[in-house]
Structure 1
Amino acid sequence: MWWSYQDVEEQKARVQREIAKRKKRGEKFEVLAAPAGQKKLSTTFWGQAWCRNLESYQDYESRLPRGRSYLRQGKVYDLEIEPGKLSAVVAGSELYDTTIMIQPLPKKQWMQIVESSAGQVGSMLDLLAGKLGDGLMQVLTDPKDGLFPKPKEIRFHCSCPDHADMCKHVSAVLYGVGVLLDTKPELLFTLRGVDQAELLSNASSAAITDISAAAAGDLAGADLSAIFGIDLGAERAVEEPLPAKKKAAKKAAEKAKKAPKKKGQ
């Protein structure tokens, strides 16, 4: 079918009128803006890792370029990431509601990631900024056992008339996740149904173990809380209170020591 310039402009105008109507009904219609003037859609570790993983899916290869183009043209609106679910509105010849369901990360797989990450995550800021060692990066982005979903774990639905396995609107939304992760990397963990704090608490536990080991050696007797900035009080047993009689006797003895001695004594 051949489209004239006038047809295209009328199509755009019709879509904008529909957006205006839906805004009046209370819908946000916030466009997901891709970085302008850059070859790569994403600029951070997590966003780029998501896109690389997406492009490794051979089943989606033919549909990805068109979706990337849609995203760059500002046609993806109201992208939301929830546990196991992506949703957005994509503008084409009409407005299409797109939903993508992603299975939660299997618990066994997540626990393997947590164990492999032991002691390697310095802080939550480092984790979300992607400031990680090469070994940990490989664990988290492994195509088989990492954080990212595999094609068999993804199901999608779009209200468009395209009955292909993956339409360009779904592709645009999947690429949009990479853009959103640039500013909200924690949403990857939300999407997969896991708690990123478990990676950090694992590292903290390892750090406390190391400190305790050091206390048995050269640092024995030192104030470890002050040195390492970690409150170790919770790890120590609470001192048993002295019975009331012992307390009174101790207090009397201390008072006697402080009292001035009489002459001749």
Structure 2
Amino acid sequence: MNTRDPYEKTFPAVPAATRGRGFAHTWWGHAWLRALEDSALDGTQVKQGRRYARSGAVGAVSVRPGGLTAVVRDPDGTAHRTDVLIQEFTEAEWDRLLDLAAAEAGHIAALLDREVPPELAEDAAAAGVELLPGIGDLDPRCDCGEWDHCPHTAALCYQVARLLDQDPFVLLLLRGRGEREVVDELAERSAAEADAASEAGADAGARQTPADEGIPAAEVFAAGALLPALPPLPELPPVPGQPPTLDTETGAEPELDVDAVEFLAQAAAAEARRRLAEALAPGHADRAPAAPLTLSEDAVRLTAEAGDFRVRSRLAAATRRSRAELELAVRAWGFGAAPGLAALEDDRTPSRSELARARAALAAAWADEEAPVLRRVRARWTQEGTGRQLRLGRDGRWWPFRREGGQWVPSGPSAPDPGSALEADPAP
């Protein structure tokens, strides 16, 4: 039986924050603030609470399962007892969460490094356990008399975002269990999984026949010295190889487009040289292999290299695009290859976890200044009153678009945050 951590943990008051410095820097800290900002009915109270927190008005913060407490002072020195409540997990929810965390060694390592793996939060949400709070999950209580979030509860939430950045176990304590208990539970479950795997391996070994015993490792290593050395790596040719010409005395079949075939052969030679250059580059073995291109993506890549009008027309027909649509796809490809093309052509609806991270990124981008008014439709955020738009890629990067000729066209490469993407493409 594990010994529970103390049910309450107190963090000392934090000095006033430097102006311009955000309250949260991790994705889970931003998600916490998004829950506050999306829940409050009066944005003015939230902004005032942010000023309170920045000025150092929040005293020591007590964290316990299901709630936070602190004394928050008005500018005139009046003190207010302030609480924010949050729902604890049930035993069944804790079981599901801990099973998911113990199943991946990387999840445990990340938690011990004071990080929340986004994959763990996503898997938990899929299993019905919302690790991070959402709209309405932060229940404010303050003796100032406000029934919704007031400046005091908002200030407390902003202060807790700082604590969460430093120690995500604060969130787990709010959900009902302290750090020691969680770590002990994960250790027990990991050990149980390792024992089960060991027993399964022993059972499999017991069922082997003598012929399945294999070769002793010493013999294998001894034989390794007799093997010839690997040949040296090939040198990168200065230019792609030149495919043979198809311009012969024998006439081509009527349906064969000789120019197109020669172009494809030349493009294949150039692509082979590019891949060889990647394979010879330092650190290639440590990088994950790129996903193979689809036929549609490869057609756009080829079109970007093709100068012949007839070849480009045939590629457009092969991908069931008009010439104008294919030229737009080539423009997107030029800004970001396959991910840039996906930003142009995907009209997807992000998952709940993607939306949570997107909202946090948007909040962080304009934390201390007037944010632009953005209207979201699926994975696209359009700035009202301008011809600018942001699109969220599947890899979490933001792509700028602008309105030209009645359609949205890519206007630049992606950026890791929405503010950079929008600023890189000034309003037309």
Displacement, 1:128? Answer: 4.1
Displacement, 1:90? Answer: 0.9
Q: Distance in 1 between matches of 2:195 and 2:11?
A: 48
Displacement, 1:175? Answer: 1.8
Which residue of structure 2 lines up, in the alignment, with residue 175 of structure 1? 158
Secondary structure, counterpart of 1:87 in structure 2: strand
Displacement, 1:153? Answer: 5.0
Secondary structure, counterpart of 2:24 in structure 1: coil
Displacement, 1:166? Answer: 1.3
Secondary structure, counterpart of 1:146 in structure 2: coil
Are 2:62 and 1:80 aligned?
yes
Are 2:57 and 1:71 aligned?
no
Q: Distance in 1 between matches of 2:182 and 2:173?
A: 9
Q: Distance in 1 between matches of 2:73 and 2:35?
A: 25
Displacement, 1:158? Answer: 1.6
The answer to whether the 8 Å contact 2:24/2:30 transfers is yes
Displacement, 1:169? Answer: 0.5
Amino acid paired to 1:193: G
Secondary structure, counterpart of 2:60 in structure 1: strand
Q: Distance in 2 between matches of 1:124 and 1:96?
A: 39
Sequence identity (%): 28
Are 2:172 and 1:186 aligned?
no
CA gap of 1:60–1:116, structure 2 versus 1, over 3 A, is farther
Which residue of structure 2 lines up, in the alignment, with residue 196 of structure 1? 182
Which residue of structure 2 lines up, in the alignment, with residue 165 of structure 1? 148
Residue 117 of structure 1 is aligned with which of 101, 106, 123? 101
Which residue of structure 1 lines up, in the alignment, with residue 33 of structure 2? 51
CA gap of 1:83–1:210, structure 2 versus 1, over 3 A, is same
Long gaps (5+) in structure 2: 1-9, 214-428
CA gap of 1:96–1:47, structure 2 versus 1, over 3 A, is same
Q: Distance in 1 between matches of 2:174 and 2:117?
A: 23
Which residue of structure 2 lines up, in the alignment, with residue 263 of structure 1? none
CA gap of 1:214–1:95, structure 2 versus 1, over 3 A, is same
Displacement, 1:122? Answer: 4.0
Displacement, 1:34? Answer: 6.5
Which residue of structure 1 lines up, in the alignment, with residue 421 of structure 2? none
Which residue of structure 1 lines up, in the alignment, with residue 196 of structure 2? 209
Displacement, 1:31? Answer: 2.6
Mapping 1:226-245, distance limit 5 Å:
none
CA gap of 1:129–1:67, structure 2 versus 1, over 3 A, is farther
Aligned residues: 193
CA gap of 1:123–1:81, structure 2 versus 1, over 3 A, is same
Are 2:73 and 1:91 aligned?
yes
Displacement, 1:103? Answer: 3.0
CA gap of 1:84–1:72, structure 2 versus 1, over 3 A, is same
1:104-157 CA-to-partner distances (Å, cap 9, x unmatched) read: 223333333233334124475521435565421323577x73123455554332
1:65-109 CA-to-partner distances (Å, cap 9, x unmatched) read: 222221111111111101222111111132212122333223333
Secondary structure, counterpart of 2:131 in structure 1: coil
CA gap of 1:110–1:59, structure 2 versus 1, over 3 A, is farther
Q: Distance in 1 between matches of 2:137 and 2:27?
A: 23
Secondary structure, counterpart of 1:117 in structure 2: helix
CA gap of 1:32–1:139, structure 2 versus 1, over 3 A, is farther
CA gap of 1:29–1:44, structure 2 versus 1, over 3 A, is closer
The answer to whether the 8 Å contact 2:72/2:80 transfers is yes
Are 2:29 and 1:42 aligned?
no
What TM-score, normalized to structure 1?
A: 0.58
CA gap of 1:36–1:205, structure 2 versus 1, over 3 A, is farther
CA gap of 1:126–1:55, structure 2 versus 1, over 3 A, is same
CA gap of 1:171–1:135, structure 2 versus 1, over 3 A, is same
Higher RCO (C-alpha under 8 Å, 6+ residues apart): 1
